[in-house]
């Protein structure tokens, strides 16, 4: 049925909305075959998120690791476009939820998209290695020959990101306990070594790269990464928008009104002849 229009599907006997996720009836809420009252108080936020998204239950250890990814991406200060946009919106008199939405809507392929891209590469590489049709070196050849950058490496500010080190520590404990294989973390490190060797300089894994590897370890679809990051960074967006709202600042632009920060590059003013 994929690719068919909703109307065509409906005319052929399908319901207008079909979902495997939830069944809502009067006084009854079923989520993927479980009563909502049995989930409330018995599963964590991250377990519920994974259950809704994937339809499977996470162990407590895996859920804590997933939660650590959400915490790691929650905030990166007003330098981050999503945070800055939410704060600017809050100074313009819009409703609080609109300010939050403004920040979330800044998340896309460039700001917030590296995790999805990195996950896709890690999944493709693991599959190629399993089939014997490629390895890290070959996959990297294809990426670089296509003129693309390798996502998940380097950072404008950090060269020893504390988030990365901590996520590695937490991941290792799950590898030791047999909760995750560590295969994707190994592939990520292989990419780091390969790109560092080729470029003759040390590349560091950033928070997007380690977050991608962890989510691959948990079996989360790459296509869901931006949505998950929106939930993660959404916490910081809410906090910053609220703080700015409490300050009562009015109409804060993206930069101070200084000539050296905004430069006109168009045509010169044509003066009328006297």
Model pLDDT, residue 160:
79
DSSP assignment of 117-186 equals HHHHHHHHHHHHHHHTS--HHHHHHHHHHTT---TTB--SS-SS-HHHHHHHHHHHHHHHTTSS--HHHH
- 47-95 pLDDT tens trace: 999 999 999 999 999 999 999 999 999 999 999 999 999 999 999 999 9
pLDDT tens column, 208-220: 999 999 999 999 9
In tens, the pLDDT along 210-251 reads: 999 999 999 999 999 999 999 999 999 999 999 999 999 999
Question: What average pLDDT does this structure show over 106-124?
Answer: 96
Predicted local distance difference test score (pLDDT) of residue 74: 97
Confidence check: pLDDT of 156 > 80: no
Closest CA to 44 of 53, 57, 34, 31: 57
Averaged confidence pLDDT in the chain: 94
2 pLDDT more than 70? no
pTM to 2 decimals? 0.92
Q: At residue 117, does pLDDT exceed 60?
A: yes
pLDDT of 1 over the 50 cut:
no
CA 234, 236, 241, 245 torsion-angle sign: positive
pLDDT at 184 over 60: yes
Rounded Cα distance between 189 and 219, Å, is 19
């Amino acid at each position: 049925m994929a690719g068919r229009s909703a109307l065509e599907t409906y005319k052929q006997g399908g319901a207008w909305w079909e979902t495997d996720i939830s069944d809502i009836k009067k006084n009854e809420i079923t989520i993927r075959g479980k009563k909502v009252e049995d989930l409330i108080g018995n599963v964590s936020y991250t377990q519920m998120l994974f259950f809704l998204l994937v339809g499977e239950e996470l162990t407590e250890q895996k859920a804590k690791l997933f939660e650590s990814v959400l915490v790691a991406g929650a905030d990166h200060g007003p330098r981050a476009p999503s945070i800055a946009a939410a704060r600017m919106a809050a100074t313009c008199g819009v409703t609080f939820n609109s300010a939050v939405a403004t920040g979330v809507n800044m998340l896309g392929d460039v700001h917030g998209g590296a995790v999805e891209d990195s996950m896709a590469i890690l999944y493709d590489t693991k599959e190629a290695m399993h089939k014997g049709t490629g390895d890290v070196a070959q996959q990297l050849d294809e990426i670089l020959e296509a003129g693309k950058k390798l996502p998940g490496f380097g950072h404008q500010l950090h060269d020893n990101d504390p988030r990365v080190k901590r996520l590695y520590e937490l991941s290792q404990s799950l590898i030791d306990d047999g909760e995750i294989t560590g295969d994707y973390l190994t592939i990520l490190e292989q990419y780091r070594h390969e790109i560092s060797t080729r470029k003759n300089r040390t590349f560091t894994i950033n928070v997007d790269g380690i977050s991608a590897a962890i989510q691959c370890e948990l079996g989360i679809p790459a296509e869901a990464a931006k949505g998950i990051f929106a939930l993660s960074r959404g916490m910081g967006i809410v906090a910053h928008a609220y703080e700015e709202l409490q300050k009562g600042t009015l109409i804060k632009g993206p930069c101070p009104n200084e000539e050296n920060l905004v430069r006109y590059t168009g045509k010169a003013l044509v003066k009328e002849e006297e």
